[in-house]
Amino acid sequence: MTDPITQEIVANALASLADEMATTIFRTAHSTIVRDGMDFSAALCNAAGDTVAQAVTIPFHLGSIPTAMASLLDHYGERLRPGDVYALNDPFDGGMHLQDIFVVKPVFAEEELVGFACATAHHGDVGGRLPGSGACDNTEIFQEGLRLPWLRLYAEGEPVEDVFKIIRANVRIPRMTLGDLGAQVAACSVAERGLQELAARYGSGRLAALMEGLIEHTERLVRHELASWPDGSAEFTDYLDSDGIEVREVPVHVRVSIAGDELTADFSQSAPMVRGALNSTRSFVAAAVYQAVRAALAVEVPNTSGAFRPVHVITKPGTIAEVVMPGASSMRGVTGFRVVDAVAGALAQLVPERIPAAGEGGNTIAVFGGGREGGERFVYSELVTGTWGGTPEADGNDGVSNPAATASNIPVEVAESEFPIVVERYGLVPDTGGAGRFRGGLAIERSWRCLTPDTSLVVRSDRQLHAPYGLAGGDDGARSANLLRHADGSEEQLPPMFSRVVQRGDVFHHRTAGGGGFGDPLEREPEAVAADVRDGKVGVEAARERYGVVVREGAVDDAATAAERSRT
């Protein structure tokens, strides 16, 4: 029997190693999207490819690792060698989309395979039709950039120069892409040393047993939690606002079933594949489901593959939830956010005390690309991180990333010092959080002025037509908006997803959606409403109209509030 104390010590050591990997990437990456936007992940796997630890990084990436590792082992299982490093971004070979490159290093201790180090990063450019590679109006994978099936990046410690030559020849800014790849390799080398030290301390066989014990412990915790939920099924449909090319409803439908200690999420009735690049791999949908279920658990569980074992995901090939060749998928992230919201909407009918209202709908991506004076190219990828919905216990957080993709905005100072861009506005938007007993978080707005001519602008946003939903009587959050102010003073409303060319002096303004509210707004404490008014989060008129609270000079007018609420 595994010693639980030793198992916990090893679990903490593995988690620390994963965090060291993340710190290495953060400190050594070249692109802003990885270094500042923190769109990367790190994890450790055992010799079978099962996750045993992960850093506090992007859940969407981490939940996709089991599929990627299964593909790697299928290709190279008997040919892994010490010093090898493998790379993948092909969504039809275990990857997610072309911008996310997996880098994996098998770890050996005295010629015995003891595990794998895995680093995933969203690369600022991997070639393709437009700067940044991802575009909602890509219509096939061949427009999206360089496609890498599993291949050796290093062979027994030596770089495979032909592979690096191919990458260098196919990306717009080689120093950026190769620099980020180098950061991933460095992170894997850090983890390799740590795993070898653990194998030397405990022995390879015992370390393997401790890892498996940790996975099984995680599985038991999740199964015990699911067994406490009521058996039953619920369905929910959420919608994308676009197919990537034109504005139209694209349904993401799920049926969630709980039976004993297992949960099944069935997406087979979701929309057929769309024309644009919003189609998702099955592994990415599964990662989104895992995140939604994990977020509803009351118990803390280790970050291992054991958490996935009681959760079953059903998808149908040829739908938006399971792309098939040659479908485009570069902007599938927004579909993952809708999957999370759809699963949460179904779970809210089964375990309502566990589920918050919908957040902003996911991080918005804006990619500016072009040429500087002198001819040097640039690709500036921006993440606008948003807000959460109200929960059964508290208001939604403002100005934080969606829980499914814990990325960050690019700091204004970094954006303006490294790119020909001026950020003219950045802040919270009053009166955008859904009213409720617990208010939804506020929307975020950001404006960029372009300083170069003929600049490519690619935007992926959502929730412009379908607002983030409220729960338990809470109101929906405000919808998102895109506005282009031309240098001549004219203005143009833009759809949620688009690709176009902008000119010097043009200003693109984006506002995310606000979070949905939770509970009846008339049950909100009047003093909490007054505090929101004092903080500028809710206006005086909105306090009266949406909450029935009359605020005068920052304080609640008790008599007027009682009268106002009695009329509602």
Ranges 155-169, 253-267, 369-383, 455-469: which has the least confidence: 369-383
pLDDT band at 338 (very low <50, low <70, confident <90, very high): very high
Q: What is the pLDDT of residue 240?
A: 98
Q: Supply the pLDDT for residue 62.
A: 74
Residue 4 predicted with pLDDT over 90: no
- In this structure, are residues 361 and 342 in contact, taking their beta carbons and an 8 Å threshold? no
pLDDT digits (tens, 9 = 90+) for 516-534: 999 999 999 999 999 999 9
Q: Are 550 and 527 in contact (CB under 8 A)?
A: no
**Rounded Cα gap, residues 269 and 282, in angstroms:** 14
What does the pLDDT look like over 46-97, one tens digit per residue?
Answer: 999 999 999 887 777 778 899 999 999 999 998 999 999 999 999 999 999 9
Instruction: Supply the mean pLDDT for the chain.
Output: 95
pLDDT computed for residue 409 by the predictor: 86
Mean per-residue pLDDT for 341-369? 96
pTM: 0.94
- In 3D space, the residue among 441, 435, 443, 442 whose CA is nearest the CA of residue 519 turns out to be 435
Position 406 scores a pLDDT of: 79
* pLDDT the model gives residue 1: 55
**Percent of the residues in the chain that have a pLDDT greater than 70, as a whole number:** 99
- Rounded to 5°, the CA angle 333-337-339 comes to 110
Q: What is the predicted pLDDT for the residue at 435?
A: 98
At residue 316, the pLDDT reads 98
Output DSSP code: residue 523. G
Q: What is the pLDDT of residues 454-500, one digit of tens each?
A: 999 999 999 999 999 999 999 999 999 999 999 999 999 999 999 99
Is pLDDT of 375 > 90? no
Q: How far apart are CA 32 and CA 411, in angstroms?
A: 9
| CB < 8 Å & 24+ apart, contacts of 414-418 | 414/32, 414/36, 415/32, 415/380, 415/382, 415/448, 418/32, 418/380
Whole-angstrom distance, CA of residue 103 vs CA of residue 41: 10
Task: Report the b/e string of 167-190 with b at 16+ CB within 10 A.
Answer: beebbbbeebbbbbbebbbbbbbb
Backbone angles phi, psi at 300, to 5 degrees: -80, 130
Task: Work out the average pLDDT over 401-406.
Answer: 84
- Tens-digit pLDDT profile for residues 193-217: 999 999 999 999 999 999 999 999 9
